[in-house]
């Protein structure tokens, strides 16, 4: 069966330093269904997360971000 992937943009209220951004990317990528999490090189408060909606929802992505101590909201899908 072919997996269908989606992207969601996570907006962080303040820019993360490089170490915090890497920690958050790793935390997201360790979630089942998340294939990639990458901070934007153009907008330091945005992160694009690629995920399989059959395994994790956009709200699940947001819950993971918040569970790791970051305030955030979803701004695009």
> Left (φ > 0), alpha (ψ -120 to 50) or beta: where does 13 sit?
alpha
From the centroid of its chain, how far is CA 45?
A: 12
Q: How far apart are CA 9 and CA 16, in angstroms?
A: 15
Res 40: pLDDT: 78
- Summarised one tens digit per residue, pLDDT across range 3-62 is 799 999 999 988 888 899 999 999 999 999 999 999 877 788 999 999 999 999 999 999
Q: Is the pLDDT of residue 64 over 90?
A: yes
pLDDT (0 to 100) of residue 43: 82
Three-state SS for 61?
A: helix
What's residue 17's pLDDT? 87
State in words which class domain 6-76 has: alpha beta
Residue 49 CB contacts under 8 Å (≥ 6 apart), including other chains: 7, 8, 9, 10, 28, 34, 36, 37, 38, 61
């Amino acid at each position: 069966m072919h997996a269908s992937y989606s992207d969601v943009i996570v907006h962080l209220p303040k820019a993360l330093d490089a170490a915090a951004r890497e920690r958050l990317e790793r935390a997201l990528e360790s979630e089942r269904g998340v294939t990639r999490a990458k901070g934007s090189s153009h907008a330091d408060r945005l992160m694009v997360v690629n995920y399989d909606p059959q395994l994790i929802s956009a709200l699940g992505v947001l819950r993971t971000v918040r569970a790791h101590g970051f305030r955030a909201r979803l701004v695009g899908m």
